[in-house]
Chain A
Amino acid sequence: MNPAWFLLFLPLAVAAANQLVLKKTGLAPIVSVASALATFMIAVLLLGKNETAHFAWATIGDFSINIGIKLDQLSTGMMIVVTGVGLLVHVFSLAYMKDDAAKARYFTGLSLFMFSMTGIVLADNFIMTFIFWELVGLSSYLLIGHWYQKDSAADAAKKAFLCNRIGDFGFMVGILMLWGITGHLAFDSMKGGLEAFQTANPAIFGGVLSAAVLCIFCGAVGKSAQLPLHVWLPDAMEGPTPVSALIHAATMVAAGVYMLFRLQFTLGFEVFEGLQASAVIAWTGGITALVAALMATQQDDIKRVLAYSTLSQLGYMVMAVGLVSGEAGMFHLFTHAWFKALLFLGSGAVIFACHHEQDIWKMGGLLKKMPITGLTFLIGFAALIAVPFTSGFFSKEQILEAAHEKEPILFWIAAAVAVLTPFYRTRLYVVAFLGKNRSENASHAHEVGPLMSGPLVLLAILGVIAGFPFVASKFAPAYHQPEHLIHLGFVTYVSIGALLTGVIAGFVLYAGKEKDPVSIPLLQNRFYIDGIYDNFIVRYFQDAFAAIIAFFDEFIINGLLVGGLSRAAESFGNLFRKVQSGSLQGYAFAFGLGVILVVYFTVFPR
């Protein structure tokens, strides 16, 4: 039996065992961590394999839906990211969630998430992808809403789920369209079907494929939080910080990029060159990257800054996929997963140490109090802003080069993002880690224990080395090795120039400041997009729809069907009640009348 089945089903078994048996015993966290460790080891063993295996899950006539496993460089590399970050996050959670009353539920959620994410990565057909796609949505919902007693967490969970559902609807339509076009659902046979379709209908081929790809892209827009469905991701920071690191930075949100790349990989990259859908994807990614970076410059919550930077980096990846340079996108996904998980776990350590204080203006001076966290955070920060010889530099370079080659305007957008990223990161670092303590909580902060700092150090190492060819060519899901480690050219100069501009601007503006010297309400309020959604879409569209449904429910279903039936039964009952008069002679009379009728019908038969 293929060990990949263990990789897929072990977390599910652990989630079930935790929920059903181990909840009361306190063993759940240990079991989950053990399962994460086991899956990581299996994932390492599976590296470089090229196999498929499947069994029929549902059979309808001669059509069957398979649950299958496809192992290739893409999926095994992605599994390293998922299980690797997953393992470190599990370990970090042991310490971070130590005092939480619902630890067992939390670890059950994590295991369920590992199961769902593994399913997406290993899926060998689109229906399975979709099933697990929904499952990650569910586990994300459960984990964001872990502290459901807080209204804001419950609302954020709901928002995340609904935004994802909107995207998933398009995704489903896209899958069905693609099935219609190619006649296959399994990745392996799709390409043949597509070619057959192309030869049969050359005229409409591009348009139909574009429509299908755009519908599928809707799923990625929801899951990878691209404009205009990005609103859920910053709110998802209401969940526990390790969850944000695992799900909302490293793995789940990258699933959209992974899925798009898998699609391109399956159908062949040449099909996507010059397709209108590709341009739409690239522009969506580019604009998301820019807008999110702009929003990030004015956020005060440490996790929200990170959330917007995640959005922005996801924008980069989606842009790369749209430019049909998916390798660059996947490479960035790979490096980003490590250093963004590092940054989130670092912020988790900071939040933990500062007694759940998240406002950066109430921190300050933390580098002295928490040297390990501060230094690892600095490394993650360096990787994110693409300081040369960190992992982020190499991957961002590839994306910028791809943009430079194919779409100059997008290149300049990406360059603008490359200025903004160091700027808001420097702001965050200077304000939170340097300077003086600005609040009681921050001055009492002290270094976190080894269960937290261990994962931080490991991730920091990975955050630096993951970009070098000797690591990336082995572990990255897709990697195009450049000829030279650093190719000095126009793109590199722009990138380094952008980096220096951003960092210097950040230092000049924010060093030694007590409160934010710049205030741009437009950016603080995130371009008012949430407001527009609340005031227009929710009020006019959703509320009107809700009113119609409420009317239908209240009057048609409740009043007419349910109430009507009960009223009919009641009036019949009342009618027959009249017959039960209780008067003896009434009964006798009715009896006599009945006898006479019987006699009448017997004597005068018709």
Chain B
Amino acid sequence: MATLNDYLLVSGLLFAIGLAGVVLRRNIIIVFMCLELMLSAANLTLVAFSRFHVSPNGLPDYNGQMLVFFVITVAAAEVAVGLAIIVALYRARQTIHTDELTSLKG
């Protein structure tokens, strides 16, 4: 039987992998995927807490799971907008390599 700690460990690993991907990878699609990975890690945490926090009536605490739906919805919207931006960016610059997208440099 997996305990809450196991879930949280997996979730933390996922989050760390996602963060490392965001910071280290140069391909903007990969960065984007890693961002989704971090959101999934957060979702996993929420679900785990929901499952292991039992109310006095014997049912799990559904508040956490409800929050997951919101996160998924927002993530879906975010993917739609984000991918559109990436496509537009590629059309404008012919590159999606972050090292070459430095027009904000002061």
Contact = CB atoms under 8 A, between A and B. Distances in A.
Interface of A: 576-585, 588-589, 592
Given A584-B98, A584-B101, A577 B23 contact: no
Contact of A580 (B19, B22, B98, B104): B104
A585 B98 CA distance: 8
A124 B36 CA distance: 92
A592 B104 contact: no
A583 B102 contact: yes
Interface in B47-88: none
B2 interface: no
Nearest to A578: B106
Given A584-B98, A584-B101, A585-B98, A592 B23 contact: yes
A583 B98 contact: yes
Ranked nearest first, the 4 interchain pairs of A and B with the lowest CB-CB distance are A582-B105, A580-B106, A582-B102, A577-B106
Nearest to A583: B102
Contacts of A578: 106
B102 A585 contact: no
B106 A585 contact: no
Contacts of B101: 582, 584
Interface in B13-71: 19, 22-24, 26, 28, 31
B96 to A, nearest CB: 11
B105 A581 contact: yes
A98 to B, nearest CB: 67
Interface residues of B, number: 15
B15 to A, nearest CB: 10
A458 B101 CA distance: 93
A585 B105 contact: no
A593 to B, nearest CB: 10
Contacts of A583: 98-99, 102, 105
A580 B106 CA distance: 5
A585 B22 contact: yes
Contacts of B98: 583-585
Contacts of A582: 101-106
Contacts of B102: 581-583
Interface of B: 19, 22-24, 26, 28, 31, 98-99, 101-106
5 contacts: A581-B105, A583-B98, A584-B31, A584-B98, A588-B23
A576 B22 CA distance: 24
A584 B26 CA distance: 9
Nearest to A574: B106
A163 to B, nearest CB: 58
A580 B19 CA distance: 21
Contacts of B24: 585
A580 to B, nearest CB: 3
A585 B31 CA distance: 9
Contact of B22 (A577, A579, A581, A588): A588
A577, A583, A584, A589: most-surrounded residue (chain B CB, <10 A): A584
A585 B28 CA distance: 10
Contacts of A589: 23
A75 B47 CA distance: 105
A35 B13 CA distance: 99
A555 B103 CA distance: 40
Contacts of A588: 22-23
A591 to B, nearest CB: 9
B49 to A, nearest CB: 17
B103 to A, nearest CB: 7
A11 to B, nearest CB: 63
A588 B38 CA distance: 13
Contacts of A592: 19, 22-23
A585 B23 contact: yes
A42 to B, nearest CB: 73
Contacts of A577: 106
A580 B23 contact: no
Given A581-B102, A582-B101, A589-B23, 4 more contacts: A580-B104, A582-B104, A585-B31, A585-B98
A577 B31 CA distance: 25
B22 to A, nearest CB: 5
A374 B102 CA distance: 91
A361 B32 CA distance: 101
Contacts of A579: 106
A571 B74 CA distance: 43
Nearest to A593: B23
Nearest to B25: A585
A349 B24 CA distance: 96
A582 B103 CA distance: 6
Nearest to B38: A592
A408 B31 CA distance: 111
Contacts of A585: 22-24, 26, 31, 98
A161 to B, nearest CB: 53
A576 B105 CA distance: 11
Nearest to B34: A588
A567 B31 CA distance: 40
B85 to A, nearest CB: 12
Contacts of A584: 28, 31, 98, 101
A581 B102 CA distance: 8
A426 B16 CA distance: 113
A36 to B, nearest CB: 69
Contacts of B103: 582
A577 B104 CA distance: 11
A589 B19 CA distance: 9
A26 B46 CA distance: 93
Nearest to A586: B23
A592 B106 CA distance: 21
A585 B102 CA distance: 11
A573 to B, nearest CB: 9
A588 B19 CA distance: 9
B37 to A, nearest CB: 14
A579 B106 CA distance: 8
Nearest to A584: B98
A354 B103 CA distance: 78
A576 B28 CA distance: 26
Contacts of B26: 585
Nearest to B35: A588
Nearest to A579: B106
B16 to A, nearest CB: 11
A580 B28 CA distance: 19
